[in-house]
Structures are given as C-alpha cells and as structure tokens.
Amino acid sequence: MERVNVVIAGGGVIGSALAMFLARRGVCDIQVVDLDLSGLYASSELNAGGARATWWQPVNIETCRMTLDFFRSQRELFGFQEAGYLWLYDDADRFERARSKLPLQRDAGLDVELLSVEAVTDRYPLLDRHLEELVGATWSPGDGLINPNAVRSYYRREAEALGVRFLNRHYLDGVVTERVPGLSGLRRVCAVDIIEVEGVDALDESGRLREILTTHRVPGEQRVRETRVSCEVVLNCLGAWSPIFSAKLGLRDVTEAIRRQICLVDVHGSDLATDADSAELGMIVDSSDLYFHPSGRGPESSQFLAGYSIPDEAPGFDFEYDGKEFFEEFVWPRLAHRSSSFERCGHLRGWAGLYAVTPDCSGVAGPVPGIANLFEAHSFTGRGVMQSYGVACALSERIVEGRYGACDLSSLGRERFESRDRWLPETLHI
C-alpha cells in the first residue's frame, strides 16, 4: 500500500491553494486526488471572475483582502483588473445596513465610498433608467475582476514545483477509519449507501482517518484500478461534493449544492460595443441582484457576462443551463430596465455551475471535531476564488503549527452551526 503524508481530496482552487501553502511550509509527500483536474464541473472553472473584499463578516473581509493583495502583486499573471464594484440599492434598510458596515471595511484598509444616485449617474452614464427607484450605492475601487483559471493554474504549478503530486481521474471512493465510534472500517464515499464495512478497530477518544481509497481508469485498459493510500492528514476540499464525503464519516454537513447560471451577452449592435469606457467597467450589481461586467477587456470587446441567482432554486447537482430562456426571462429584462444601452443585445451562450451554500452563506474551514487528522475547506458559495489565498494561508498554518497565526479562521469552523448565535451571515451574497 502506498503511504503519503497528506491527501487533499479535490484539486479545485481551494485544494490547489492548500497544496501550495502546505508545500511552502515544508510539508512533503502531498497528494491531490481529483476525478477531473480539467474541472469540467468544478465551480472553480465555471465562475464569474469577480474579486472583492467588501463583505460584512470580518473573517471574510480579511481572507479576501489577503487574496486581493496577492492578486494585486501579480496583476498581469492573474489578469486582475482593479475596475471596482458598484452595488446599487433600492431598499433603504439594506442601504442603511451597507452604510453601517463601512467602518468595519475601512478599518480593514478597504476603500469603500457611498454614492448618491446623482453620483452614480455621473460616474456611470450607462445606467440611465429607473434611477428614481434607487436610494444609493456603494463603490469599492480596489475590487475588480480576475481570471480564475489563471489563479488555480498558478497554485497548482507552484505546488508541483515543490513536489506535490496531482492525480487526475482519481475518484475518491472510500475511506478507512479507525476509532470512530460505530464507523470504523472501510466505507465507500460516493455511493448512496455504504457498500461495505470491514473490520472494527478498538474505540478511542479520537477517531482517525487511516486510508483513502480511490478508483481510476488505467489509460489503454478497460479495467478500473483501485488504490489504497495510507495517510497522516486528509483535507476535504471537494467543494459542492464535500457533504457526500462527510456523510460517510458520520458527519452531518449543512452545505447544499445549488445551481447558478451565467450567460454571455452580445452587445455588438449597441453603443456599448464602440464605447471604450464601457469596456473598462468593473462589476455592477444591480438592485435586482443581477450582476454584470464586460467580458474580455479593451474596446474591441463586445460581450458582457451576466449572472443571476434564481430565488428558491432547488438544491441538487444540476448543471443544465436554461439557455435563451434564462437570458430572456431573467437577464435581459433586468439589463434593459437599468440601461437603454442593453435595449439591443443578444444571447450568446452560457453555463451552469454549483454554489456550495451554507445556511449563513459563509464557508467552512478548519479541523473536523472527532476525527483527529481530518481538516476541511469548502462551501465558499460565490466567494471561493477571491477567498482562496487567505483561507489556504491561514489553514495551512493551523495544520502545520497546530494553531492559527495572524489570520484566525476559528469562526469558520463547522461547530458554529450548533448554535445560531455563532452563524456568520453574509447578506452581500449574490
């Protein structure tokens, strides 16, 4: 049987960032297993490319601030455009709450302004419709847009250069635990029911995850090969799939996988196509919760990316994109309602990916109580890329040093869901 130090389950942006940081902290023998490293269904490859630190929870602000500072340090490499986030409000109470968070955000070093509706029209002549509905806006010039694929590739490259092995087409299929009351033995992970339970070890106060079982297809062969790897530490970075893994360890996750759709809007028939300023816009979040930004930079770009979260979308692993219907029902009416420039635009294409959503819309990170060598980092809703560097930096320190350093993620631990007082509600979630 193969032996490694650390197995990271999931090679999305979070698993890759953790691999890099653990290797940088001197951990050797790290293996990342993923059923598809090209990320066809991974959220990391299906997202909207927004990057901001302007959240309402200190831990989210801090981890995103660290990540944005890192993006800023290598703008070219990550295609980081500090083009800002404009957030429009039509509800006085919500706007007041946004105003009340400014001191917190400014104390964290973020540049955030409140804009009157007149200031919005001055800065964004593009927004020329139904402004009487608005009560104001926030504007954060340090936020912006990122190329998420470049970020994940960077983490992986850096990790590989330090000896981390990324195993593609390896499906995490089972775990062997010991000293987990009632759960010891081999348990298949990704089947609906437990297929097999082998042997039971003596119970102890702290359970351990002893082995990981993966299956993978051998190139050129029909058969599927099973591999058992014994490991000292395991990290669950399976994004929206994390609860499936947790469930087989007897852990109840509160995360739900929820479909989110994005489309590309063709504006070549409108003034937006020829207006150089429009091509330099950052993210605009409309009061209707539609968000949009130019896709591709420069005056030649005639596409916008627009996303909208359909309220009450049922949880599930649904990757079906609703196509033109999504554009016509949810996107175009909202764009045209706010800007006459979108009166003439068309649907190009789009896609659906998964948000891993918790009840308070903050992520889950930290050690897993009851299983001494299991850690987790997942469920970052619509924030995983912009939080990746900060979360991985802090959690890798916790794993290696046994304690958090300057950035403390304790509040993101799964224990918070035991009591509602400890939830970290993020209402700026889109």
Ligand X SMILES: Cc1cc2nc3c(=O)[nH]c(=O)nc-3n(C[C@H](O)[C@H](O)[C@H](O)COP(=O)(O)OP(=O)(O)OC[C@H]3O[C@@H](n4cnc5c(N)ncnc54)[C@H](O)[C@@H]3O)c2cc1C
Q: Which residues of this chain interact with ligand X, rule CB under 6 A?
A: 10-15, 33-36, 39, 42-44, 46-50, 171-172, 190, 237-241, 260, 262, 307, 353-355, 378, 380, 382-386
Question: CA 297, CA 57: separation in Å to the nearest integer?
Answer: 31
* CA–CA distance, 356 with 384 (Å, rounded to integer): 10
Using only C-alpha atoms, the chain has a radius of gyration, in whole angstroms, of 22
* Residue 179 or 260 having the CB closest to ligand X: 260
Taking the C-alpha atoms of residue 38 and residue 36, their distance in angstroms, rounded to an integer, is 5
- State the minimum distance, in angstroms, from the CB of residue 202 to ligand X: 29
First to last CA, the chain: 45
- Cβ proximity to ligand X: between 135 and 247 the closer is 247
Residue closer to ligand X (CB basis): 139 or 380: 380
Pick 219 or 402: Cβ nearer ligand X: 219
Identity (one letter) of the amino acid at 415?
E
CB of 318 to ligand X, least distance (A): 11
Sequential DSSP letters for 316-335: S------THHHIIIIIHHHH
Q: How far is the CB of 242 from ligand X (least distance, A)?
A: 8
Q: Distance from CA of residue 122 to its chain's centroid? A: 33
189 contacts 245 by C-beta, under 8 angstroms? yes
H or E stretch at 2? strand 2-9
Q: Which is nearer to ligand X, 46 or 134 (CB)?
A: 46
Per the rule left: phi > 0, alpha: psi between -120 and 50, beta: everything else, 381 is left
Let me know: does 284 contact 293? Beta carbons within 8 Å. Answer: yes
Q: Which of 8, 31, 22 is nearest to 394 (CA)?
A: 22
Backbone torsion region of residue 72, taken as left when φ is above 0, otherwise alpha when ψ lies between -120 and 50, otherwise beta: alpha
Query: Cβ of residue 38: shortest distance to ligand X, in angstroms?
Result: 9
Measured from the CB atom, the residue of 61 and 134 that comes closer to ligand X is 61
Look at the chain and count its residues. 430
Give the nearest distance from C-beta 305 to ligand X in angstroms.
Answer: 9
Distance CA 225, CA 382 (A): 35
Closer residue to ligand X in complex, CB, 39/136: 39
Q: Minimum distance from CB of 388 to ligand X (Å)?
A: 7
11 vs 282, which CB is nearer to ligand X?
A: 11
Are the CB atoms for 386 and 66 separated by under 8 Å?
A: no
Query: Residue 334 CB, nearest distance to ligand X (Å)?
Result: 16
Identify which of residues 53 and 120 has a Cβ nearer to ligand X in the complex. 53
Q: Compute the distance between CA of residue 425 and CA of residue 372 in angstroms, rounded to an integer.
A: 28
Q: How far is the CB of 196 from ligand X (least distance, A)?
A: 16
Shortest reach from residue 54's CB to ligand X, in Å: 13
